[in-house]
Chain A
Amino acid sequence: MSFRIASSPHHHSQQHTSVLMQKVILACLPGIACQVYFFGYGVLLQLVLAIITAWASEALVLRLRQKPVLPRLKDHSAMLTAVLLAVSIPAFAPWWIIVLGTAFAIIIVKQLYGGLGHNLFNPAMAAYVFLLVSFPQQMTSWLPPLTLQAQQQQVLDPVCAVFTDFSCAGYSLTQLKTDIDGMTMATPLDTLKTDLSTGKTISESLQQPVFDSIGGLGWNYVNLAFLIGGLWLLQQKVIQWRIPLAVLGSLGLCSLIGYLIDPDLHASPLFHLLSGGTMLAAFFIATDPVSASTTLRGRLYYGALIGLLIYLIRSFGGFPDAVAFAVMLANLAVPLIDYYSRPRTYGHKPKGSY
């Protein structure tokens, strides 16, 4: 009988990259289902387009770099990027938006920096910013929830809209965005921002049909679904609690301060936590192990920075939602955070004490 002699650590985590990625993708499913329920199955089309593009561009670059293609495709990281981007863009955006965005995410943000594990930025969010900056009109054409749409959505409408820019009956996206009273509707965060700029108070703005008692109609359920997925990830130990808690805590605290100062001009913490992409950002995007901070203390700072930036850009910036910008800016700060939050080496005195 032979004993295998190996050096420490003797206890290994059995979770490989592909298993982790698979779990994160699985955890996205409740959120995706919720989006389909409220906004139609356009998001599924975007998902399919995104995943095909991601695989194709990953294979292309790996071919060019003369690296083995199949093992890299099997780690599902490209698929995860595609999924995260597809759920963040409007479900009725034209097909070339998602194709361009995914190709940009994989080829430029991920592979040109050296592939999985070397990218500076979160690929999905960098691609989202790329799309938002390049094509602001298409990227902000969110349809209102199905129940509020004036034109009854036909079975084939998402297909028509994604591939021809018009619904099957020939309505343009702007017409589809218009409600029964002939008012154009935007996302809840966008509506709130526009209303505040015209001098309305929060409580007046919340009377609009895109809101229900807590926040945006449909959007709060989407956020709750992503929260459930995120909690499952925590339970599975795919992600750690520090980043999500720091993001949500910092966003909640900032919005609480604003809310206490003037509830007419600042939305409630609950509204902020359940609007836009907050939960998606906290559990799925900020926790990306490659572009996030690696030290334990650093993760708290990193998450808190994202929460603060989301609040600042939402309240005082030019864009209605801020997740992508906040995550990218925090990504840039990661080397600095990591440098200043290095843990004390065991046996060494803390810096500055002699």
Chain B
Amino acid sequence: MSDYRNIIHQGLWQNNPGLVQLLGLCPLLATSSTMTNALGLGFATMLVLVSTNLVVSLIRSQVPNEIRIPIFVMVIAAVVTAIEQLMQAYTYQLYQSLGIFIPLIVTNCIVIGRAEAFASKNPLLPSIVDGLMMGLGFTLVLFLLGTCRELLGQGTLFDGAEALFGPWATVLRVEVFKTESHFLLAILPPGAFMVLGFLIAAKNAVDARQKSRQVQTAGITRARVTHVASNETSAG
């Protein structure tokens, strides 16, 4: 069980694809201009990750080591094609606004990275969990980035959510503040780089704070041990 907990921790925090591995930056920065686009691409990537990890883990003993990479790429390409067709069928608006970035999931380094580094060496269930958690970690970062950029850029939340969730989702749209001059930088790619930089800095700051707290607690336990020891000696 602790094994799965480790996988979850790795995917969501310790080894987060968006904040630590910095893989898949191209879609991360290009499609995170609104929350809806970010969520759409995040879900698609997550689905691809789970499916490819599943397939790769199943065939891992049959694949000759020398040609494993081309085979993984073919698996990924097949899965991405299927998902692209699905998105075209069910979320056509989102499919149009994400454009080239759906087929480009094939080239997303996280997908091939997890297939090579994890799924090709681990049994089925851990591989699926790993794909799910890596995908979720990526989606969360995308979602956060999309939230910041949409809020800064146009002052709204969930603008155009109906493209992803269907017509009922228009109620999700929140206009936080109204502005005549949009803050264009947040919507343009340089803004994405800056916001991502701040997110990474925030994550590092949280890690550093945790580390300093751990050191402190370690100091306290040592003090208690010596105290107990001195008690014993006095009793003895």
Chain A residues at the B interface, C-beta cutoff of 8 Å: 108, 130, 133-138
Contacts and interface: CB of A to CB of B under 8 A. Distances in A.
A135 B183 CA distance: 7
Interface string B174-209: 000000010111101010001000000000000000
Contacts of B190: 133
A133 B184 contact: yes
B185 A133 contact: yes
B184 A135 contact: yes
Contacts of A134: 183-186
A135 B181 contact: yes
Contact of B181 (A108, A133, A138): A138
Contacts of A136: 184
Interface residues of B, number: 8
A108 B185 CA distance: 14
Contacts of A135: 181, 183-184
A137 B180 CA distance: 11
A301 to B, nearest CB: 26
16 contacts: A108-B194, A130-B185, A133-B184, A133-B185, A133-B188, A133-B190, A134-B183, A134-B184, A134-B185, A134-B186, A135-B181, A135-B183, A135-B184, A136-B184, A137-B181, A138-B181
A134 B183 CA distance: 5
Q: Is the interface of B mostly helix, strand, loop or mixed?
A: helix
A136 B188 CA distance: 13
Interface in B189-236: 190, 194
Given A108-B194, A130-B185, A138-B181, 6 more contacts: A133-B188, A133-B190, A134-B183, A134-B186, A136-B184, A137-B181
4 pairs of A and B residues whose beta carbons are closest in the complex? A134-B185, A134-B184, A135-B181, A133-B185
User: Chain B CB within 10 Å — which of A133, A134, A136, A137 has the most?
Assistant: A134
A133 B191 CA distance: 11
Contacts of B194: 108
B183 to A, nearest CB: 6
Nearest to B152: A134
Contacts of B183: 134-135
Contacts of A137: 181
A133 B187 CA distance: 11
Nearest to A94: B181
B194 to A, nearest CB: 7
A142 to B, nearest CB: 17
A134 B184 CA distance: 4
A135 B152 CA distance: 13
A292 to B, nearest CB: 23
A65 B185 CA distance: 26
Contacts of B184: 133-136
A97 to B, nearest CB: 9
A130 B191 CA distance: 10
Contacts of A130: 185
A314 B11 CA distance: 49
Nearest to B187: A134
A152 B154 CA distance: 36
A133 B190 CA distance: 10
Nearest to A138: B181
A214 B65 CA distance: 74
Contacts of B186: 134
B192 to A, nearest CB: 13
Nearest to A135: B181
A130 B183 CA distance: 10
A134 B191 CA distance: 10
Contacts of A138: 181
Nearest to A100: B183
Contacts of B185: 130, 133-134
